[in-house]
Structure 1
Amino acid sequence: MGVIYILITISLSLAIFFLIAFIKSAKSGQFDDSYTPSVRMLFDDELKSKKHTKSTTNTKLNS
């Protein structure tokens, strides 16, 4: 029975350690996405051209 108390104590302390480490890394910006904003400008034209193509085909079909 004593082993169970030791294992529970170890697992709780380990879980608390990882929770603190996660919170600390999230606050320091470890998980910030610095890659996507720099690449987003490369794909904006494709999204705009697809929307433009759809709108022009709809107007051609309606005319």
Structure 2
Amino acid sequence: MSIIYVLIPIAIIIVALAVVIFFWAVKSNQFEDLDRQGYSILFDDDLSPEEKKLAEQRKRIQQENEKNGSD
């Protein structure tokens, strides 16, 4: 029965620590970009310089079209 007097404070400390870590993660924007890691496996990192240049141009054009479409 005396072990319960040790386990309850330890459990409270662990829960309090988990809550503090969770709020730290939320405050430091750890949950802002949840999709990036999932999409990163879909794209090749070993593109040639010409392909990278074309991809950047397409991205820029797409962003401009989205800006112009929303206005």
TM-score (norm 2): 0.45
Q: Give the paired residue count.
A: 38
Find out whether 1:11 has 2:11 as its counterpart: yes
TM, length-normalised to structure 1: 0.51
Q: Percent identity?
A: 32
The within-5 A match list for 1:1-63 is 1-33=1-33, 35=35
Q: Per the alignment, in what secondary structure is the counterpart of residue 3 of structure 2?
A: helix
* Structure 2 portions without partners, runs of 5+: 40-61, 63-71
* Max Rg structure: 1
Question: For structure 1, which runs of at least 5 residues remain unmatched after alignment?
Answer: 42-63
Q: CA RMSD for the aligned pairs?
A: 2.3
Which structure is richer in relative contact order (CA contacts within 8 A, separation 6 or more)? 1
